[in-house]
Each structure stands twice: as C-alpha cells, then as structure tokens.
C-alpha cells in the first residue's frame, strides 16, 4: 500500500536550496568574466549539488535538483526566507510516496 508522506522544511534544507541557487548565479556571472567555450551551467551546478552533504529531507537525485529550480516559486521561497527558523518545520518541503509494508 502506498501513502503520502510530508517532508518538513528545515533551516538546513532552505540554506542548501539558497546556496545551490546562488551558486548557479555565481557560475553564470563568472562565465561572463572568464568565458569557457563548453560552459553548461546546468551540469556544473548539478555537480555542485551532488557533491554537497545534503541535509535530511533532500536526496541526491535529479528530481530534487530540478525541484530547486522548477518546482519552487519565488513566492514560496520568499515565504520561507521570512519564516523564523524554529517555525520552518510547520512548512512542507515536499510530499513523497512511501510504500507501506503489509504483514
């Protein structure tokens, strides 16, 4: 049987999301200063994400990496940025399917 499981937001998840997004901005701007012919911000930033020690709730997978860019609106990020850290766990970062084992 499958069920939905909510993954609560945390300071560590938020900090990781913001760091990965900031890294994207940095490497793109840095490429304007020091151009590389084969520059691919998506792949370079993905390597950065996969090399991080990810906090509980974030997975080293393509789906979580893509969610950082395509699944989170600026509106929700602003809300999380303005939420006191101790209250972030009341917010849902992601909802996953979890297969429940039956006896």
H or E element: which one contains 74?
helix 74-81
pTM to 2 decimal places:
0.83
Residue 86 DSSP symbol: G
For residue 13, the model assigns a pLDDT of: 94
Residue 82 DSSP symbol: T
Give φ, ψ of 57 to 5 degrees: 105, -20
The domain tally of the chain equals 1
Q: Tell me the residue range of the domain where 65 lies.
A: 2-99
pLDDT tens digits, 65-90: 988 888 888 999 999 999 999 999 99
Say if residues 75 and 28 touch (Cβ distance below 8 Å).
no
pLDDT tens digits, 17-60: 999 999 999 999 999 999 999 999 999 999 999 999 999 988 89
For residue 31, the model assigns a pLDDT of: 96
Give φ, ψ of 101 to 5 degrees: -80, 135
Report residue 31 as tokens: 């490429």
* Bridging pattern class, strands 2-8 and 92-99: antiparallel
């Amino acid at each position: 049987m499958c069920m939905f499981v909510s993954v609560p937001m945390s300071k560590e998840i938020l900090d990781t999301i913001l760091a990965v997004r900031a890294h994207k901005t940095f490497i793109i701007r840095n490429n304007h200063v020091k151009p590389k012919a084969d520059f691919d911000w998506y792949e370079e930033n993905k390597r950065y994400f996969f090399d991080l020690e990810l906090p509980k709730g974030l997975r080293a997978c393509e789906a979580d990496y893509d969610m950082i860019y395509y699944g989170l609106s600026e509106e929700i990020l602003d809300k999380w940025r303005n939420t006191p850290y101790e209250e972030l766990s009341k917010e849902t970062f992601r909802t996953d399917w979890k297969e429940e084992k039956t006896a």
